[in-house]
């Protein structure tokens, strides 16, 4: 399955190329990217084309620190609904939880991991299996995350530690000036650590209802872009049909132009079953719906395809070990 990248996310690079006095259009076309896609909010491009674009920029710009400099052009829209969900997050910790969950909405060739350390919350850019291997890739991931934190928290935010998985560049002062602390180079992984008090501070920009609205969109969009995976294809069809209350393996098979036997065989090859996939989708959707106080329990039961609220309550308790009402109350 070909990995993809959210086309508007490359707008930062486009604007930086312009700021350096170059015309980005021919560079993008040479890399196999139609510049018009950068203005489409649902456009995706091949990871390999993005990688080729970066390699051309390394040669053109001849600047080992252009990854850091790109950050000044960041805008929430460049990472789609994830950018707006980030802006509406109540704390930096919940914002990072969203990034971990939905980073593939932006690019499928990057994972973000979180780890607790004595110094605070460590945010790790997992590029181990990525084709993005340039030092500037590591720089831009960490600097964008830092910029996003300052966008919510305030410009005074300073991390307690920054590690980069590449050697020290000649322009190291630009990187240390951006993060405002000395950088640890040649690290095993690129990461940024923020103090616990900073990631747990309640943010004035937080808006729970807006954040949850974007979460619901991100959940559905993430499944949509993973359609090359049979399990993700099935999840997508299940979500579309849940309110009907008639989601069966026969229905899903017809939607995917498969026989029931072929569907079952493909799921078995993935080490799962139709019932497991259905329950996983219902649980994932239920948790998202419950977080939104506008949704009543009866509404949620309907949206998930349960004929009775009591049936939904029993299923939710089986999934999570608690009732829907208690789960919602625990979030307050």
Mean pLDDT of 249-269: 85
pLDDT recorded at residue 93:
95
d(CA 124, CA 288): 25
pLDDT recorded at residue 211:
86
Architecture (CATH level 2) of domain 4-199: Alpha-Beta Complex (3.90)
SS3 332: coil
Which residue did the predictor score with more confidence, 212 or 167? Answer: 167
Least confident of 66-70, 102-106, 261-265: 261-265
pTM exceeding the 0.85 threshold for the entire prediction = no
pLDDT tens sequence across 184-239:
999 999 999 999 999 999 999 899 888 888 888 888 777 777 666 677 778 877 88
Fold topology of 226-331:
Arc Repressor Mutant, subunit A (1.10.10)
d(CA 7, CA 34): 9
pLDDT recorded at residue 3:
83
Alpha carbon dihedral 235, 241, 242, 247, in 10-degree steps, equals: -80
What does pLDDT average to over the chain? 90
Indicate if the pLDDT at residue 116 is higher than 70. yes
For 2-101, strand residue ranges (E) read 4-6, 44-46
Exposed, middle or buried by CB within 10 Å (0-12, 13-18, 19+), for 283? middle
Contacts of 44 (CB under 8 A, 6+ apart): 4, 5, 6, 7, 225
pLDDT recorded at residue 284:
85
Q: Are 192 and 123 in contact (CB under 8 A)?
A: yes
Q: Are 201 and 178 in contact (CB under 8 A)?
A: no
Indicate if the pLDDT at residue 264 is higher than 70. yes
How many CB atoms are closer than 10 A to CB 231? 17
In the DSSP assignment, the letter for residue 107 is: B
Indicate if the pLDDT at residue 1 is higher than 60. no
Which residue did the predictor score with more confidence, 164 or 40? Answer: 164
Q: Where are the domains of the chain?
A: 4-199, 226-331
pLDDT recorded at residue 183:
97
Mean pLDDT of 248-256: 84
pLDDT tens sequence across 277-325:
888 888 888 888 888 887 889 888 888 888 889 999 999 999 999 999 9
């Amino acid at each position: 399955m070909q990995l993809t990248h959210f086309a508007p996310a490359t707008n930062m690079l486009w604007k930086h190329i312009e700021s350096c006095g170059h015309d980005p259009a021919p560079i993008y076309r040479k890399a196999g990217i139609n510049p018009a896609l950068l203005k489409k909010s649902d456009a995706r491009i091949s990871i390999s084309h993005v990688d080729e674009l970066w390699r051309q920029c390394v040669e053109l710009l001849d600047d080992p620190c252009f990854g850091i400099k790109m950050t000044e052009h960041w805008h929430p829209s460049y990472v789609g609904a994830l950018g707006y969900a980030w802006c509406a997050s109540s704390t930096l910790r919940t914002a990072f939880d969203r990034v971990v969950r939905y980073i593939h909405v932006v690019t499928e060739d990057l994972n973000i991991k979180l780890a607790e350390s004595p110094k605070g919350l460590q945010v790790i850019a997992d590029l181990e299996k990525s084709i993005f291997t340039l030092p500037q890739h590591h720089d831009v991931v960490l600097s964008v995350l830092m910029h996003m934190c300052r966008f919510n928290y305030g410009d005074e935010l300073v991390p307690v530690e920054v590690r980069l998985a590449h050697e020290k560049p000649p322009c190291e002062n630009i990187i240390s000036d951006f993060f405002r602390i000395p950088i640890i180079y040649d690290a095993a992984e690129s990461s940024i650590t923020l103090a616990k008090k900073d990631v747990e501070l309640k943010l004035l920009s937080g808006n729970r209802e807006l954040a949850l609205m974007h979460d619901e969109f991100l959940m559905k969009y993430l499944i949509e872009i993973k359609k090359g995976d049979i399990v993700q294809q099935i999840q997508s069809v299940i979500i579309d049909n849940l309110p009907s209350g008639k989601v069966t393996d026969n229905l899903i098979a017809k939607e995917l132009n498969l026989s029931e036997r072929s569907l079952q065989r493909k799921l078995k090859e993935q080490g799962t079953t139709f019932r497991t996939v259905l329950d996983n989708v219902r649980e994932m959707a239920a948790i998202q719906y419950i977080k939104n106080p506008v949704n009543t329990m009866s509404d949620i039961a309907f949206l998930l395809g349960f004929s009775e609220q009591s049936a939904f309550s029993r299923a939710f308790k089986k999934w999570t070990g608690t009732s829907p009402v208690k789960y919602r109350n625990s979030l307050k």
